[in-house]
Amino acid sequence: MAGTRRHGAGRGRPTLEEVAARAGVGRGTVSRVINGSPRVSDRTRTAVEQAVAELGYVPNRVARALAANRADAVALVIPEPETRLFAEPYFSDIIRGVGAGLADTDLQLLLTLIRTPKERQRLAEYLSAHRVDGVLLVSVHADDPLPDLLERIEMPAVLSGRRSAHESVPYVDSDNTGGAQSAVEHLIGRGRERVATITGPLDMYVAQCRLEGYGAAVRAAGREVEEELVVSADFTEEGGRRAMWQLLSQRPDLDGVFAASDVMAAGARQVLRENGRGVPDDVALVGFEDSAVARHMDPPLTSVRQATEEMGRAMVRVLLEEIGGRSDHTAKRPQLVLPTQLVRRESS
């Protein structure tokens, strides 16, 4: 049985030199094949790959990363508490998309939550030391200093969403304004006269855009945006509950609600039920995201579909281009806005 052992068995892991000797090529040629260089003939590539398979050679990723001045890792940074991470489908969908986008690469994914100023400072020091090759940043607030830090230290980065209309960091976003406008136009088209909205936190550009879409639809119908029909919340279920209570106290005659997230719509639905308001008979309700929450509500929620998983995959594609230096940094930075679609269900 000993004669069936692979070359190098019992003597430690096979080396690059052993692979080169087996393939009949130089050490540098083996390195080029392993690193995917196109400057190798098909015949040579086949010989090296066969030698790798026969010897059971496993590249030393740490050494490769050090030689290339790379960390072979990217960070997915979410500046929110874990309660939101696990309660809101948006985050799990983004993570799923990012994971799928990285599946065919050698990059490790580091998930980082920022809950305190101390954690933020620790992350800033970690990133400044270039312990990762790039950063994916989700749930960005207007005053978040991280995007500016990433630009200062020249760290490749991509945002999910953006801080303003003049964002300088590459980003992937959804058509939040157009999606919100289609939701409110739908409610008005269903004959609703007093349509309210529950916004996200207005220090986030995504919430501003969805409020802008609401206002555009209201004005297009020849109506005025009434202050009492607009209440801001925080994209959480409890925030949706509180906002719905406030709306009912201010305008008990409302007959339609556009919530800027499905999770907030779920909270609003609970309050409407507690107050004896039927959905959609008394109050029509529409959300945003078209997450699993929308499909499982009673009645199922009409919602604006955004391709959240595709956003995660697109963020990875853009980041890999930034890391690889394929982006022309003298030109306009990559900025993708993905389309949205209204999905009609029984809640409206």
* Interval 242-268 mean pLDDT: 98
Question: Residue 37's pLDDT band (boundaries 50, 70, 90)?
Answer: low
- Which CATH superfamily, name and number, covers 73-174+309-338? Response regulator (3.40.50.2300)
**Residue whose structure tokens are 């409110």:** 184
Q: What is the pLDDT of residue 10?
A: 45
Q: What is the pLDDT of residue 64?
A: 53
Q: What is the pLDDT of residue 170?
A: 94
Which stretch of 70-84, 172-186, 308-322 has the lowest confidence by average pLDDT?
Answer: 70-84
Q: What is the pLDDT of residue 12?
A: 65
* Interval 106-125 mean pLDDT: 89
* Interval 302-306 mean pLDDT: 97
What burial letters (b/e) apply to 60-79, b meaning 16+ CB within 10 Å?
eeeeeeeeeebbbebbbbbb
Contacts of 43 (CB under 8 A, 6+ apart): none
Question: Residue 319's pLDDT band (boundaries 50, 70, 90)?
Answer: very high
Q: What is the pLDDT of residue 85?
A: 83
**Average pLDDT over all residues of the chain:** 88
Give the amino acid at 149. Answer: L
Q: How much of the chain exceeds pLDDT 90, in percent?
A: 63
Q: What is the pLDDT of residue 58?
A: 72
Is the pLDDT at 180 greater than 60? The verdict is: yes
Q: What is the pLDDT of residue 308?
A: 94
Higher-pLDDT residue of 344 and 79 is 344
Q: What is the pLDDT of residue 140?
A: 86
Is the pLDDT at 115 greater than 90? The verdict is: no
CATH of domain 176-306: 3.40.50.2300
Which stretch of 35-44, 184-193, 249-258, 306-315 has the lowest confidence by average pLDDT?
Answer: 35-44
* Interval 180-202 mean pLDDT: 98
The two three-digit tokens of residue 76, written as one number: 């997915």
Domain 16-68 matches domain 176-306 at the CATH topology level: no
pLDDT digits (tens, 9 = 90+) for 116-174: 889 889 999 999 888 899 999 998 888 888 999 999 988 999 999 999 999 989 999 99
Going from the C-alpha of 108 to that of each of 116, 132, 265, the distances in angstroms are: 25, 9, 36
Is the pLDDT at 60 greater than 70? The verdict is: no
* Interval 89-114 mean pLDDT: 91
Alpha carbons 216 and 179: distance in angstroms, whole number: 11
φ/ψ (deg, to 5) at 35: -90, 5
Is the pLDDT at 216 greater than 60? The verdict is: yes
Q: What is the pLDDT of residue 69?
A: 55
Alpha carbons 175 and 235: distance in angstroms, whole number: 17
Is the pLDDT at 98 greater than 90? The verdict is: yes
Q: How much of the chain exceeds pLDDT 70, in percent?
A: 90
Is the pLDDT at 187 greater than 60? The verdict is: yes
The two three-digit tokens of residue 265, written as one number: 């719509």
**Residue whose structure tokens are 């933020």:** 120
Domain ranges of the chain: 16-68, 73-174+309-338, 176-306
Q: What is the pLDDT of residue 323?
A: 85
The two three-digit tokens of residue 3, written as one number: 């004669």
* Interval 46-73 mean pLDDT: 71
Which stretch of 49-63, 144-158, 331-345 has the lowest confidence by average pLDDT?
Answer: 49-63
Fold entry, domain 16-68? 434 Repressor (Amino-terminal Domain) (1.10.260)
Is the pLDDT at 334 greater than 80? The verdict is: yes
Q: What is the pLDDT of residue 11?
A: 54
Higher-pLDDT residue of 9 and 196 is 196
pLDDT digits (tens, 9 = 90+) for 277-293: 999 999 999 999 999 99
Q: What is the pLDDT of residue 41?
A: 87
